Amino acid sequence: MFSKACKYAINAMTYIATLPKERDRVGLKEISKEINSPEAFTAKILQVLVKDHLLTSIKGPNGGFMMRGKSEEIFLGQIVEAIDGDVLFTGCALGLEHCNGHHPCAVHHKFKAIRDHLAGMLMTTSLKEVAFGINNGTNFLRS
């Protein structure tokens, strides 16, 4: 469904969003430890998120990564799109060059319903909402 990079990205953003108000930044080491991801690979992913203006990075001692916007205004779909692109939202399930109703693949109609369901969920689920479940103890970032 999602690439590993995308999974790490969502978990990392979620963890950053769980930080208390008085702590606005967190380093790579802590992130990759908390979400149980390879450190170097995570670094690359975070850099993509910085380039996409979802995160801000601060260099030097006491540096780290911080959310660029409010967590209630960042949605999972933005993260997925930044890492995996929009193929999940607009691509054909069976590999046709363009997905559109005028030249539908064998499963276009049925698949479009699923895809729209998924896109709707991702575009309306905010990081704040997800982070709340983690802080709450109802959901988990690692096995």
Partner DNA sequence: TTCAAAAGATGATTTTCGTCATGATTAAAA
Partner DNA sequence: TTTTAATCATGACGAAAATCATCTTTTGAA
One residue of 28, 96, 118, 134 binding ligand FES per CB under 6 A: 96
* 35 near ligand FES, rule: CB under 6 A: no
One residue of 30, 57, 104, 129 binding ligand FES per CB under 6 A: 104
Question: Smallest gap, in angstroms, from Cβ of residue 112 to DNA?
Answer: 21
Long-range contact pairs involving 23-29 (C-beta distance under 8 Å, separation at least 24): 24/66, 24/67, 25/58, 25/62, 25/63, 25/64, 25/65, 25/66, 26/64, 26/65, 26/66, 27/63, 27/64, 27/65, 28/64, 28/65
One residue of 10, 11, 18, 64 binding DNA per CB under 7 A: 64
Task: Map residue 104 onto helix, strand or coil.
Answer: coil
* 113 near ligand FES, rule: CB under 6 A: no
Q: Which stretch binds ligand FES (CB under 6 A): 41-49, 67-75, 101-109, 119-127?
A: 101-109
Q: Which stretch binds ligand FES (CB under 6 A): 1-9, 43-51, 76-84, 103-111?
A: 103-111
Question: Smallest gap, in angstroms, from Cβ of residue 69 to a copy of itself?
Answer: 19
* 60 near DNA, rule: CB under 7 A: yes
How many other β-carbons are positioned within 10 Å of the β-carbon of residue 128? 15
